Structure 1
Amino acid sequence: MRTPYSTLFDQEASKDEVNDARYEVLEEIAEAKHERDDKTYFLEVWQKIEEATLIAYKQGDYELYDFMKNNWELMKLHAEKNPVQRKRLQP
């Protein structure tokens, strides 16, 4: 099974496959928000979305670019509003 990010940019993917991939990306965003205390996971998903956004722009798929950019910006806003709580070390 291809990752949703590779499906989004597969020239041979059907419209249904692309729509399913977009839904999977949104699910990953929701999971990242839910798991926001795990900073590594959150940043990994954020980086994938940023990369996918740049690829969409370079390929001239402006509809997909807007879709990905909006998701990336939502995650950025979420991260700013909900910073990861760092645990203090006990002496």
Structure 2
Amino acid sequence: MSIIYLSPVRSEGEGPSPAALAAIDSEWPLIAAELDLLDAQIAFINAGPYASVLDRRRVRRAERRVLEVSRELADQETAEDGAA
């Protein structure tokens, strides 16, 4: 998983560069999958001793989705590096 570095916003009112926005846009499926995983984990923790099998299944599915999206992004980066 890569971390996107965004430079501080300049005082002239400029926002992130188009390249930074494109990088965020390309990684958005991973961000969304990680947010879903976080939601599932919070629900599981809040259920405490009353957590059901379905709560655990939701966490496992969200974990699997994060891995799938990560793999897809890595494959895209590898393909782009190979084409360059």
TM tier, smaller: 0.3 to 0.5
* Structure number with larger C-alpha Rg: 2
Q: More relative contact order in 1 or in 2 (CA 8 Å, sep 6+)?
A: 2
TM-score w.r.t. the length of structure 2 is: 0.38
Report the TM-score, using the length of structure 1 for normalisation: 0.36
Larger helix proportion of the pair? 2
